[in-house]
Amino acid sequence: MIVLGIETSCDETAASICSNKKILSNIVSSQYMHSDYGGVVPEIASREHEKYLNIIVNSAITESGIKLSNLDAIAVTQGPGLAGTLLTGISFAKGLSLSLDIPIVAINHLEAHIFANFLTEPNLKYPFVCLLVSGGHTQLWHVKNINDYYLLGETLDDAAGEAFDKGARILDLGYPGGPEIEKAGINGNPKAINFPRSLLGNNSLDFSFSGLKTSLLYFMDKNNKNKVFSTEDIASSYQEAIIDALCTKLKRAVKFTKTERCVIAGGVAANARLRKKIKSSLSIDLYFPSLKYCTDNAAMISFLGEMKLSQDVNSGLNFSVEPNLRLV
């Protein structure tokens, strides 16, 4: 089966071809202009998708070595994400599905991030705990099989990626904040400043990062007057607070589920310090997606789409955009 995957949930325009669980092409176009605004501007993102989606899809088809007529099905992100950007991808996918008379399957973006790990580790076994951590979501899942998920915990306010973005803005660093803070703090002292870790009790598997962001804001007001700490130490210490909270909850989830496997998913999974801390914190089987599959991409959409289609899933043409789509 040959499946075209389309991803337009935020500020990456992406298309991929998957055939028999192998990725033949994976094209991603990132919208760097949002860095000028300190965050994604939805209207600009939608216009950029409209401008480049057809080009990206054609590039994916060309790189894969197939013809448009060879496609057996299309998989497209339904949500969660920005309504306008999702609509661009879904409208394109529906039009192509109708013109080629082939099935279309609507994909949950969060589910696709989880299954991106199978692209790196095809022999990954169920069940496993997944730490899904990105700009919009921070969740812990117990994954027992495809379509069998249990939500263990999630953020009650800001996602970890959002905490990175807001922290970078406070520190006058660039966007997206995660890579900028990681880069700024690479030679810093992670123990220089003891920023708070909101653990919400001894047994909670939920997260909270809004207090950490506020703590950084107040700290900077004070530090700007005294100039005691360097940006490197502040960035490193702030990053460490986020990572400590993630690692603590992940260890709790592993203990609670008694699982022997753990996977990390989402854009923040690309953070080198997070990977190092998790590896030193847990002595079970750990899986991380390749860096190219951490951030938004269409390979995970086409791959999961093929898995769904093999189970006779066909969304038809009547599904709609779901900006707040949940996994369960």
CATH code of residue 216: 3.30.420.40
Residues 228 and 255 grouped into a single domain? yes
pLDDT of residue 227: 76
pLDDT of residue 276: 97
Count of domains observed in the chain:
2
Residues 203 and 222 grouped into a single domain? yes
Secondary element (H or E) of residue 17 = strand 12-19
pLDDT of residue 139: 98
Residues 8 and 110 grouped into a single domain? yes
In a domain, 315, yes or no: no
Residues 47 and 192 grouped into a single domain? no
Residues 131 and 268 grouped into a single domain? yes
Residue 113 sits at φ, ψ, to 5 deg, of -60, -40
pLDDT of residue 321: 97
Residues 48 and 155 grouped into a single domain? no
Range of the domain at 13: 2-114+297-310
Residues 136 and 79 grouped into a single domain? no
Residues 243 and 173 grouped into a single domain? yes
Spatial separation of the C-alpha atoms in residues 82 and 7, rounded to whole Å = 12
In a domain, 320, yes or no: no
Spatial separation of the C-alpha atoms in residues 158 and 213, rounded to whole Å = 9
pLDDT of residue 224: 73
Residues 15 and 89 grouped into a single domain? yes
Residues 27 and 108 grouped into a single domain? yes
Ramachandran category for residue 224: left, alpha or beta (phi over 0 → left; psi -120 to 50 → alpha): alpha
In a domain, 323, yes or no: no
Helix, strand or coil, per DSSP, at residue 139: strand
Residues 44 and 104 grouped into a single domain? yes
pLDDT of residue 202: 87
The whole-number mean pLDDT for each consecutive block of 10 residues of the chain, a chain of 328 residues, reads 97 96 96 83 93 97 97 98 98 98 98 97 97 95 97 96 95 93 97 94 94 95 81 97 97 96 97 97 96 96 97 95 95
